[in-house]
Every structure is written in C-alpha cells, then in structure tokens.
Structure 1
Amino acid sequence: MTAEEFLRAHTAIAAPALVPEIRLHLATEITPIWQATEAWLAQQGIEPPFWAFAWPGSQAMARLILDQPARVAGRRVLDFAAGCGLAAIAAARAGAALVEAAEIDPLAIAATRLNAALNAAAVEAQTGDVVGAPCRWDLILAGDVCYEAPMTAHILPWLRAMAASGAEVWLADPGRAYLPREGLQELARFTVPVTRELEDRDAREVTIARLLP
C-alpha cells in the first residue's frame, strides 16, 4: 500500500470549520489513525499524525490569507511544518507566485500533495528539514509550531534569521506554552472551533503575528 492509498483508506474528505471552501483528507479521531499509522509503518512510538488534522493555527492562517489575498498574491511562500498543507493551499488559491510546503514527515508530504490535488492548488511539497536553509521566500507561514520546547528552540532562531534576511514570517499560535513573548507584531485574531478529541476546550483563540528579526 502506498502512502496515498493509506491516507485515502484512513481519512475522509471534509472541510475545516473556519475554512469551508477548502476540502481536505482528514481523520475523525486521533487514536485510530495513530494506531493505523504505527501498524502500517511497523513502528511503535511514532510522532502523532499531525498531518491528519486541520489544527487551529493553520485554519486561522488560511482564513487570513483567503480574506486578504493581497498579502500573498505574487509572493514566494513557504508553508513551514505544513501538516496537511492547508495554509499552502490557501496561499496558492490567493495567487502566490510560488508555494512550497516543507515537512519532515513523509506522510505529511503525501497528505499535502493529496490535499493540494483535491483543491487544484499548485503546491511544491518536499520532505526534509529546511531549518538552516538560506532565505528564498518572501513570506514564511508557521502555524502552531511552538508546542514543545525542543521544537521551538530548533526553529525560532532560523525563523528570526529569515525575518532578518527580508522574509515576512507569520506565526499563528493558539496559546501554546512556548510561543515567544517578545518580538511579535500582531496581525489578526480568530476564534477557531476545535474538537475535544484534540484540545481541552471547544474553541481556541488564535493570534497571527509577524515575527520581528
């Protein structure tokens, strides 16, 4: 079974609550998809299948992009830690000149490609850690990435370096513990409906901020 066949077998096509105009291959529950992924990979203790859900940060990012496409149109965009590729798809639909999606999880890349095709969106999705790469983008989208201390410590210096190199860097955060407290310029706020399968509440307040160099 290929990655694409696995994804089709274990997800359903649905629209995120805040972005109904985009359809995605999504899981309905975390435990079954997690167990199925471990069984398919024949590997225990894998990272959660983040690619199987439209997380509140990416939903808010996509909503801002679709509501204000002029922020993205004609620009080279990177959806960093893209997950299911929702923000990348929104950027493509908003008229970005180039959209890349970066992920270290090959299943996330497969999900992004499937979802981009489902929405007829031109997205270049590649597996690999782009942290440390030189800046080749005008806008970098980072949705819900500050949920663990090691992850934040790994990515934040590079994202600030990208901002210093001339890229605009957006962080979309629903109140995770490791979001930096300084060097942010707020752009927008959204209330995103969420499920208690994934969160400890029924809605998350998501702030989208520009990361300053």
Structure 2
Amino acid sequence: MSDSTAGLGRHRTKALDPADFIKANMRLTPVSSVPEVRLYQAHPGSGLRRLLEPDDDGDGSQPEPQPPYWAYAWAGGAVLARYILDRPSIVAGKRVLDLGAGSGLVGIAAAKAGARAVIAAEIDRNGVAALRLNAQANGVAIQIRDEDLTVGAPPAVDLVLAGDVFYAQDVGQRMMPFLDRCLAAGIDVLVGDPGRAWLPRPRLCPLGEYHVPDVGGNGGSEPKPSAVFALMAEPSICLF
C-alpha cells in the first residue's frame, strides 16, 4: 500500500463532525404531532451508521457512540411536548429540566411555551450536537448539560420533564432514585410514555393522553395512545 493510499484510508476512518453530518444528511422538518417544533430527523438516506462508527484513529479514550435515539421523535417526548404546548401555564415562568433530552423536543416545547429557563441533559455527544442545532433552528435558548445528572443532586429547577426514560429496566432503575430526589426537593416531575413495560405505574397519575407516532421506539409511524403522568412520591389515589 502506498503512503497516499494509506493516508486516504486514515481519512475515511476519521470521526465525522456530528454537527456537519447532521446538517448535511438529516432533514429539518416539523414533528408530525408537534408541528410547532422543527427537528433534524433521520430518513432512509441519512446513513446514520457512518456517524456511529468509532474513530479508528482514536486512542480509545472516547466512549463508544450511543444508539441514535436523538435522531427520532419518540412517543414519550412527543406527548409531553404536545401537552406542554397545549397547556403553557404548566411551564410558564418556571425553570425546567428536560431529562434524557435526546433531540431536545421536550425542552424546545417548554421554551416555546414560556419557561423561564430550560436545561437539557444529554450524555451522547452526537445527541448534544443535534440538540444544539435543533434549539438554534427553533430560535430558543437552552442550557445543555452533557453529563449524567442522575448521579447527583437535582439542579435548581422547578419541574422535571422525563420523556421515554423507562424504555429499559436498567435505565428506569437508574432514573428512579434521581426522580425521587427531585420530588423530595419539592420539584414536580412529569413523565411522558406510550406505556412501556418498565413504567413505575403505581407511582403515576395520568394527566392527559394523545395519539402520537412512536417512530424511535419500534420503527413504526402509526399514531398510538401515549400519556403524560405526574410522578407521585408514593403509591396513592390520584387526585387529578
């Protein structure tokens, strides 16, 4: 192999810049169930696998990319966003945390509905890039925290919005202690979910329901019932 060929091979395996890739290969379009919000969304020609390939020139110090959950509007986030935009008083003037923000759909909706400040927590570097681009595209200001907030004390917020954080047992088990610390600190918690298996159902009081696609969850696009819940400190009879 010649030096020039080897150099070409190294160039091809070099990690792509997430923001450049997203702008070049994804479509900025309105979310079907939340048309007030536009997101960079994946389509069959996006070639997302290229963005998720590890950097062969790296030294192994960077974590492996996570699945591209941020590239789709999941049902739990979509139903929370719809609920907030239909009832802006829920977030108006409040400090809001979008937990496991992914694309930033929920946080963007909160900002559009009049939240005083929005923090979006997302640990995937590709998701952070998408979140920043999506916030800019919607003309809203969002503080991005690219760290796992669930391991510490809650940030100084009034409301936590948790969309699709119970899609797997281990994820739900990691989330619940943090959400309980939020409740203990006087922070309200709203959960958006299409009814996944690991929901803490005895602790949830339903507030509203919409039919939205669960594009990210199962690859389908048909609208299905999804709900918004208030997380309670302990199992109890709902007063809503």
Report Cα offsets for 1:175-212 as digits up to 9, x if no partner. Answer: 21111121111111111034599445722211110111
CA pair 209-27 structure 1, distance change in 2 beyond 3 A: same
Determine which of 154, 179, 182 is the counterpart of 2:199.
179
Query: In the aligned structure 1, how far is the partner of 2:112 from the partner of 2:53?
Result: 35
Distance in 2 (alpha carbons) for counterparts of 1:102 and 1:196: 19
Match of 1:151?
171
Give the match's secondary structure for 1:15: strand
Structure 2 partner of 1:205? 225
8 Å CA contact 2:75–2:217 kept in 1: the answer is no
Paired residue secondary structure (2:200): coil
What is the CA–CA distance in structure 2 between the aligned matches of 1:197 and 1:181, rounded to whole Å?
Answer: 19
Please give the per-residue CA displacement for 1:86-145, whole angstroms capped at 9, x wherever unaligned. Answer: 000011111111100001111111111100000001111121000133231100011011
Judge which range, 68-77 or 194-203, deviates more.
Answer: 194-203
- Helix, strand or coil for the counterpart of 1:82? coil
Give the distance between the partners of 2:189 and 2:45, measured in 1 at CA.
30
CA distance in 2 between counterparts of 1:80 and 1:159 reads 10
- 5+ unaligned residues in a row in structure 2: which ranges? 1-15, 234-240
Aligned to 2:51: 37
The TM-score, its normalising length taken from structure 1, stands at 0.92
Query: Pick from 140, 162, 166: which aligns with 1:142?
Result: 162
d(CA) in 1 for partners of 2:119 and 2:64? 29
In the alignment, what sits opposite 2:132?
Answer: 113
Structure 1 SS opposite 2:80: helix
Structure 1's 40 and 27: CA in aligned 2 closer, same or farther, altered over 3 A?
farther
Q: Percent identity, aligned pairs only?
A: 38
Q: 1:41: Cα distance to partner? A: 4.3
Contact 2:100 2:163 survives alignment (8 Å):
yes
Residues 78 and 195 (structure 1 numbering): CA distance in 2 closer, same or farther, change over 3 Å?
Answer: closer
TM-score of the superposition, structure 2-length normalised? Answer: 0.82
Q: What amino acid is the match of 1:38?
A: L
Q: Does the 8 Å contact 1:52/1:84 carry over to 2?
A: yes
2:22 equivalent to 1:10: no
Distance 2:195 2:85 in 1: 23
CA distance in 1, matches of 2:217, 2:96: 31
Deviation at 1:31, TM superposition (A): 8.5
**Residue number among 116, 141, 144 corresponding to 1:122 in the alignment:** 141
Q: Which moved more, 1:190-199 or 1:110-119?
A: 190-199
**Corresponding position: 1:102 with 2:101:** no
Contact 2:91 2:110 in 1 (8 A): yes
Q: Which runs of 5+ in 1 are unaligned?
A: none
CA distance 1:41–1:190, change in 2 (3 Å): farther
In 2, are the aligned partners of 1:196 and 1:202 still within 8 Å (CA)?
Answer: no
How far apart, CA to CA, are the structure 1 residues paired with 2:124 and 2:216? 25
Q: CA RMSD in A?
A: 2.2
Three-state SS of the structure 1 residue aligned to 2:118 is strand
Provide the secondary structure at the position in 1 that maps to 2:151. Answer: coil
Q: Deviations over 1:59-98 (max 9, x none)?
A: 1111111111011000000000000000000111111111
Aligned residues: 212
Compute the displacement of 1:9 (Å): 1.9
Max Rg structure: 2
